[in-house]
Structure 1
Amino acid sequence: MTIKVIRGNPTPEELAAALAVVRARAAAAAAAPEGTPAAKDAWSDPSRIARQRLPHPSPSAWTRTYWPS
C-alpha cells in the first residue's frame, strides 16, 4: 500500500497520525467476518419518523394513504 501526499506539507506527526488512522481502519476491515452485514444506522430507518402505525389494507384504506405531517 502506497500513500502519497498530493497537496500541503504535513509534519511528521500529522503524517503519522493519518497513517495510524488508515492502518486502524484497514485492520478493522480485515478483522470483520466476511458474511456479517454492516450495521444499519438508526437515522436511515423510516420507521423512526412514523408517529403511528400505518393502517392495514381495507376497502377504505385508499383514503388514508397520505404521509402524516
Structure 2
Amino acid sequence: MQTASTNICERMGRSQELSEFKCGTVIGCHLCNKSIREISLLLNIPRSTVSGIITKWKQLGAATQPGSERVSAC
C-alpha cells in the first residue's frame, strides 16, 4: 500500500503538453481580443501557459513549425 508521501508524482501532478486544438483555441481567443486572464478562466489553463503560447505564436507566426510533428507553441 502506498502512502501519499511515497508517491510524489500523484501528489504534485505531471505537466502535459496541450493539444494542437487547445493551442489553436488560445490563439483564436487572443485574436478575438480576449485577455490572458479571460482565456485562462475560459479554458481552465494557467495564465503563464496562455501567455507562453501567445508569446511563442507571435515569435514564430504559427502554432506549429513546418515539417515537424511536435507542437512548438505548447
Who wins on radius of gyration, i.e. which is larger?
Answer: 1
- Same-fold call, TM cutoff 0.5: no
Tell which has more relative contact order, 1 or 2 (C-alpha 8 A, sep 6+).
2
Instruction: Give the TM-score, by structure 2 length.
Output: 0.29
TM-score by length of 1: 0.30
Greater helix percent: which structure?
2
